[in-house]
Amino acid sequence: MTTAVLPHPVRASASRAPAGVRVLGAVALLGSPMMLVQYLWWLAAGAAAPGPRTPIALAGFLLYVTGFAAAALGLRRLRATGRGRGAAVVTALQLGGLALAAGQTLQDIAGVRPFGDAFYLATDIAWPASHVFMLVVGVAVLRAGVWRGWRRWTPLACGFVIPLMAIATAIGGRAAMGAAFAPATALAFGALAVALLTAPASHDVR
């Protein structure tokens, strides 16, 4: 009498990103629509966008940049930008820029500039610079070849947010700035967050 050999059950999580990456992806997903939420809130209040930096708006900025940083860490955890020293430098530069960007918001919340106007200007520049730097991250992801299919294009899409905003502003003026930037960040960073949440676990380096 022969006994049928049943295949070993496959764990549901075997093809999913590890728990740590999924947490980072969830934080990135939570932060991704914050600029769009702010924009819609400003429009509802009848303010020009970008509108006043109220405490609620500043809290939204912090949540956005936190999600941005979580996405950068998730990419590093999955080695999506590569495994060498250059990939580590790319992540360090991105996180450094985001720390500066968060520093501007913290100074706005406190209402003081303890390191002077020059440092505040640097933190202000860090906001668009961090977005543009995603072009470098996107190229690194394409070169590494760890991600395939639609996922590999999501970091690059994030990098094109500022050029898109610049084009929209040149065409439609300041009023078009938020109209382009807000939905673009929600879509691009939302897609990156979903890419992290659904990335194969085999790419993880523990």
What pLDDT, on a 0 to 100 scale, did the predictor assign at position 8?
Answer: 42
* Residue type (1 letter), 76: R
Number of domains forming the structure of the chain: 1
Q: Kindly state whether residue 202 falls inside one of the protein's structural domains.
A: no
Q: Kindly state whether residue 167 falls inside one of the protein's structural domains.
A: yes
Q: Kindly state whether residue 138 falls inside one of the protein's structural domains.
A: yes
pTM of the model: 0.86
Q: Kindly state whether residue 143 falls inside one of the protein's structural domains.
A: yes
State how far the Cα of 196 lies from the Cα of 206, in Å rounded to an integer: 16
For 41-102, give the secondary structure using H, E and C: HHHHCCCCCCCCCCHHHHHHHHHHHHHHHHHHHHHHHCCCCCCCHHHHHHHHHHHHHHHHHH
9 DSSP 8-state letter: P
State how far the Cα of 61 lies from the Cα of 145, in Å rounded to an integer: 32
Q: Kindly state whether residue 12 falls inside one of the protein's structural domains.
A: no
Q: Kindly state whether residue 206 falls inside one of the protein's structural domains.
A: no
* Residue type (1 letter), 77: R
Q: Kindly state whether residue 1 falls inside one of the protein's structural domains.
A: no
Nearest to 87 by CA among 140, 156, 146, 138: 140
DSSP characters for 149-202?
GGGGGHHHHHHTHHHHHHHHHHHH-HHHHHHHHHHHHHHHHHHHHHHHHH--GG
The token duo for 82 is: 């590569």
Q: Kindly state whether residue 57 falls inside one of the protein's structural domains.
A: yes
Go through the chain and tell me how many residues it has: 206
Encode the chain (206 residues) as per-residue pLDDT tens digits.
Answer: 444 444 444 444 446 668 889 999 999 999 999 999 988 888 887 776 666 677 888 899 999 999 999 999 999 999 999 999 999 999 999 999 999 999 999 999 888 999 999 999 999 999 999 999 999 999 999 999 999 999 999 999 999 999 999 999 999 888 888 889 999 999 999 999 999 999 986 444 44
Residue 115 belongs to domain spanning: 19-43+50-196
